[in-house]
Amino acid sequence: MSGTLRVLRIASLSVAALLFTSVAYFAFGALSRDTPSVVQGTTHESLSRESCVECHAPIAAEWRESYHFLSVAGPFWKRIRDRSFDRLFERLRVPCMNCHAPANILDLPPGQHPVERADAPELGVDCVSCHVSDRGILGPSGEGGGAHEATEDRRFRDPVMATTMLCAACHDEPSEHARTVESWRSTQFAKDGVTCLHCHMPEVEAPAVTGGPKRLRRSHSFIADKDPRMLRGALNASITIVSETREAMVRITNDRMGHSFPASGMNSLIVEVAVHDESERAVTTVRRSFGTRELIPGYLDFWPFAEISKIPYGESREMTVELPTGHGVVSAEFRYRDWFALRDRDLTFARIEKAY
């Protein structure tokens, strides 16, 4: 009896010591950081943030659907604010809004993240965040159509420079949260000059200003994993029946995405393989998830607290199931799960099947 008690006492002391160490570790981390700065955003000398949206209504309509606008006003941050996580982050001095509502990205030294802005943070990553610098409005052509001055800038004209100098200001973080540009650099796409813009800002034939002429320009809706067509188009999956061993193999290859699959953050790809017999009864169901699984959900998304099983670019993953005797069908269903489980349902975007 006393032996059991001693073991219990030692166990609870160890747990307390471990808890104390982790609290001390996080407190030290938080206190040794500076409070993130919040500054007035760089704005145009005569045009307001709202005026860009009014004149450029066709582009603004695309942008409003994007997670650049929704990066503060969208469901994610609403949930974070509702649970007061934003105040917790503030206390812990973790910068968040610097990328989600940036003051200026164009005048940053390369490799530096932006600073949080004080004015209109609810607009998230807006027109001014990306286009207005200390030198005024910058763009790909230097044409302001008589409405305003504009300066041609290579970071807009050349998609590779846009990727490594504009997108990278926020999408190239060292943590799993957003290390997409780094992941893109080693792909065949990067070698061939296929950039973030080619996939996420596809060309559309549309006006750039209200009442303006239609012409070819890049879309500002920044489509990604919320678009099932984009997910379907990037999926490379097949089913092979291996008759000798009576097995079915589902192979998923990441060679149509410009980075790992899922890209970054905490999203996951869920694959469900099912074997149906002649009477369409499900005999076996196997499910696997590719992404980042947090061992303490919601907080620690880095090693050793997270298990990362994303499919890197250029690699394949296989799932093998045994087949029963007789004939039937093997199917694979592909679902995408958003981090934070904020969308109540997973997005089922593709299904393939093969008879055996």
Q: How far is the CB of 92 from ligand HEC (least distance, A)?
A: 8
Phi-psi sector, 69: left (phi>0), alpha (psi -120 to 50), beta: alpha
Q: How far is the CB of 309 from ligand HEC (least distance, A)?
A: 14
Could you say which residues in the range 223-282 bind ligand HEC, by CB under 6 A?
A: 224-226, 230-231, 234, 257-259, 261-265, 267
Residue in 71, 219, 221, 331 binding ligand HEC, rule: CB under 6 A = 71
Q: How many CB atoms lie within 10 A of CB 179?
A: 18
269-272 long-range Cβ contacts below 8 angstroms, 24+ apart: 269/311, 269/334, 269/335, 269/336, 269/337, 270/334, 270/335, 270/336, 270/337, 270/346, 271/319, 271/332, 271/333, 271/334, 271/335, 272/332, 272/333, 272/335
Rounded Cα distance, 194 and 183, in Å: 13
**Residue located via tokens 């919040």:** 38
- The piece of 11-19, 23-31, 204-212, 242-250 that touches ligand HEC (CB under 6 A) is 204-212
Q: How far is the CB of 22 from ligand HEC (least distance, A)?
A: 18
User: Contacts with ligand HEC: how many residues (CB under 6 A)?
Assistant: 96
Q: How far is the CB of 240 from ligand HEC (least distance, A)?
A: 24
**Residue located via tokens 């004939």:** 327
Rounded Cα distance, 250 and 271, in Å: 9
Q: How far is the CB of 321 from ligand HEC (least distance, A)?
A: 25
Could you say which residues in the range 117-156 bind ligand HEC, by CB under 6 A?
A: 125-132, 137, 139-145, 147-148, 150, 152, 156
Pair of tokens at residue 266: 């905490």
Asked if residue 240 lies in contact with residue 246, where contact means CB atoms within 8 angstroms, the answer is: no
Peptide bond into 159 cis (omega under 30): no
Q: How far is the CB of 15 from ligand HEC (least distance, A)?
A: 27
Rounded Cα distance, 258 and 264, in Å: 11
Does 47 interact with ligand HEC (rule: CB under 6 A)? Answer: yes
| Complex with ligand HEC: residue 92 or 282, whichever CB lies closer | 92
Could you say which residues in the range 76-105 bind ligand HEC, by CB under 6 A?
A: 76, 80, 89, 94-96, 98-100, 102, 105
Could you say which residues in the range 327-356 bind ligand HEC, by CB under 6 A?
A: 338-340
Q: How far is the CB of 33 from ligand HEC (least distance, A)?
A: 12
Could you say which residues in the range 169-198 bind ligand HEC, by CB under 6 A?
A: 169-171, 173, 177-178, 180-181, 184, 189, 194-198
Peptide bond into 262 cis (omega under 30): yes
Could you say which residues in the range 151-170 bind ligand HEC, by CB under 6 A?
A: 152, 156, 159, 162-163, 166-167, 169-170
| Complex with ligand HEC: residue 28 or 302, whichever CB lies closer | 302
Q: How far is the CB of 142 from ligand HEC (least distance, A)?
A: 5
**Chain centroid to CA 75:** 15
Residue in 106, 123, 165, 208 binding ligand HEC, rule: CB under 6 A = 208
Q: How many CB atoms lie within 10 A of CB 196?
A: 24
Q: How many CB atoms lie within 10 A of CB 115?
A: 20
